[in-house]
């Protein structure tokens, strides 16, 4: 190992310890402290040999091989900041990123991983999340991660190998799951979807847990069988790069004209609006939101039953139900 590598490793170790302390201070790992060891061990900087930071003049590229020592230091310290990192751009569109570590920690705790669980991750990204899962389980073969873009999966494999992990990396449409690796005990998505793919439920064991971003929230479902699942949203907001492929969400603008200014400012209202889109007009949604005391995300849930799926407030039997696509 040369002086350059030693310099990087020393900087990374100190920065990683700082990140763990920062997440630790929020009490994220109180329920499952085993994840603390994963974040303290898995070297995030190996998964982001370069990334982009937005600024006034566009994106600044930070990378490991920069000839300037101060630039290399910015790269490695930035790799351990508690923030999402843009890792792949195409024509100004964000294709892939490394999620905010504290949000990843919340999601992994909420996944409730048990010993021997078989896990599918939808959205391979840099491979960092798959490495955390493999470290937690101590068995790389229990972890499968899938992404649509061959360039993304190939770089994820390289990053994982460099960090000493060998989970199964698949190139394919995440909305279709990975049937050849099923059945799964847990499915976690790190990309935004407009609906819960039925293929996921069919590839789950009864009692499996599915955690997926939906409508700027994180939905945690318990799978009853191949056609039925139900669960609530976590309390935290979540914004992810959209899934690419069959299950991709189509952007849709909704006018908030005529609503109070706070309708534009309130994240919780916009979350509700995303859930009821196509069922309630914005004015009716806002009236309901105010009448029900500006409900937090955790009061909402989703039920999947055969070909039907609906979102609900407080009770899956009603009175407030909204069909999902």
Kindly list the catalytic residues.
Answer: 96
CA distance 47 to 129: 10
């Amino acid at each position: 190992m040369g002086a350059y590598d030693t310099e990087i490793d020393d900087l990374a170790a100190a920065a990683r310890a700082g990140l763990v302390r920062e997440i630790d201070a929020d009490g994220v790992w109180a329920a499952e402290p085993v994840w603390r060891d994963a974040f303290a061990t898995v070297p995030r900087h190996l998964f982001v040999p370069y990334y982009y930071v937005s600024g006034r003049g566009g994106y600044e590229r930070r990378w490991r091989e920069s000839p300037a020592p101060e630039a290399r230091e910015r790269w490695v310290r930035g790799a351990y900041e508690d923030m999402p990192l843009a890792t792949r751009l195409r024509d100004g569109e964000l294709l892939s990123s490394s999620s905010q570590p504290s949000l990843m920690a919340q999601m992994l705790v909420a996944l409730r991983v048990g010993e021997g669980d078989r896990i599918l991750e939808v959205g391979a990204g840099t491979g960092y999340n798959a490495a955390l899962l493999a470290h937690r389980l101590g068995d790389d073969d229990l972890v499968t991660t899938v992404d649509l873009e061959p360039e993304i999966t190939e770089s994820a494999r390289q990053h994982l190998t460099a960090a000493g992990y060998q989970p199964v990396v698949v190139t394919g449409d995440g909305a279709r799951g990975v049937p050849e690796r099923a059945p799964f005990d847990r499915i976690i998505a790190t990309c935004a979807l407009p609906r819960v793919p039925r293929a996921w439920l069919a590839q789950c064991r009864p009692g499996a847990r599915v955690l997926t971003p939906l409508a700027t929230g994180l939905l945690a479902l318990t799978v009853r069988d191949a056609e039925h699942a139900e669960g609530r949203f976590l309390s935290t907001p979540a914004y992810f790069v959209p899934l690419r492929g069959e299950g991709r969400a189509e952007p849709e603008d909704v006018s908030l004209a005529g609503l109070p200014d706070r309708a534009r400012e309130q994240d919780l209202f916009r979350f509700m609006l995303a859930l009821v889109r196509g069922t309630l007009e914005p004015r009716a949604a806002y009236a309901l939101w105010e009448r029900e005391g500006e409900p937090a995300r955790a009061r909402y849930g989703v039920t999947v039953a055969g070909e039907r799926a609906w979102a609900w407030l407080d009770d899956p039997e009603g009175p407030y139900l909204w069909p999902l696509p």
